[in-house]
Amino acid sequence: MNHLPGRLSRPSSDWRPLLRHVSATAIAGLVVLSAGLSPSVAEATVVHSPPWADSFGAKWDGTNGLDTRASALWMKTKLGAKGYTAYTANGYAASTSMGSSYAQSDAVWAMFGHADRGFITQYAGSTSTVLHAVPNGTLYSCSSPHACLSNYGGGKISKMKLMVFGGCYTALAGNDSLPYSADLGIVATQADGVSTAVGFDSEIFWPPMDKWSEVFFGDLAAGHDVSHALILAADQAAISNGGNYGGTNYFDMFGSTTTTVVPAGYGS
């Protein structure tokens, strides 16, 4: 299992992945030591300056494969221009996306992929890896390359301002008769302490989602709050696509409706 796909091909001028790969743990330790914090707080979000933002996309194999990489790239483009150390990760495992070098260091986090009630997937190493809302015990595990969002409480991602689950039905809880019950947005905001989470309660489609991502992160970068950005992104996606929302108007918001991400910074 390659947890760092694509990093060897990055431009040499892109210093940030190297920083993350080599020294994220050291930075976390330094932060804890310098602040004199207790061991229980050592799992808190690793705070960087400038703050970090990560988005995850993938291209699934096959002629019918979904490609969400452009949507992920828009977050990097828009927030990278507003003071974030923004990074787009293509084809990373779900467990990697939640790791100390990603979600646990992020002020903003977004994932785009196949999904259903209670989980979202990323295609990594020809395998669909799953980020579940909660542990399920039977169908999938929370072990790498998969992950369970509910395992990131205790302050691990509580300084994250915004978490976007860009996939079908990600705003709905899994059927309780299935192993993947519970809702990603609720777990993120209520159990993990993320300020605002966004999901969708219907199917969503690409390419309209690419326009949605461009407008959503662009409007956030312009200083508007998440409510404004969500409304504008859905409506502009429809206007751009001949009146076809592509499901983007079925967005759901959890937590604060007034979260902003500029000026760049972490949540409280």
- Residues at the interface with other proteins (CB under 8 A): 63-64, 66, 114-116, 121, 167-169, 171, 185, 202-209, 211, 219, 222, 224-225, 227-228, 230-232, 235-236, 238-244, 246-247, 249, 251-258
Between 53 and 115, whose beta carbon lies closer to other proteins? 115
Q: How far is the CB of 164 from other proteins (least distance, A)?
A: 13
- The two tokens of residue 92 are 């990373």
CA distances from 125 to 8, 64, 84, 134, 243 (A): 15, 17, 28, 24, 37
Between 23 and 244, whose beta carbon lies closer to other proteins? 244
Between 89 and 184, whose beta carbon lies closer to other proteins? 184
CA distances from 237 to 34, 101, 209, 219, 223 (A): 46, 32, 7, 13, 19
Q: How far is the CB of 33 from other proteins (least distance, A)?
A: 38
- The two tokens of residue 237 are 């996606």
Q: How far is the CB of 43 from other proteins (least distance, A)?
A: 27
Between 93 and 230, whose beta carbon lies closer to other proteins? 230
- The two tokens of residue 141 are 């595990």
Sign of CA dihedral 91, 94, 97, 99: negative
Cα distance between residue 175 and residue 234, in whole Å: 27
Q: How far is the CB of 183 from other proteins (least distance, A)?
A: 10
Between 27 and 184, whose beta carbon lies closer to other proteins? 184
Between 98 and 171, whose beta carbon lies closer to other proteins? 171
3-class SS of residue 67: strand
Cα distance between residue 110 and residue 165, in whole Å: 6
Helix (H) / strand (E) element for 165: namely strand 162-166
Instruction: Say which residue the tokens 């060897």 belong to.
Output: 8
Instruction: Say which residue the tokens 């219907």 belong to.
Output: 202
Q: How far is the CB of 241 from other proteins (least distance, A)?
A: 5
Q: How far is the CB of 246 from other proteins (least distance, A)?
A: 6
> Do you find a cis peptide bond into 51, omega within 30 degrees of 0?
no
Q: How far is the CB of 262 from other proteins (least distance, A)?
A: 13
Between 100 and 181, whose beta carbon lies closer to other proteins? 181
Cβ-contact 87, 16 below 8 angstroms = yes
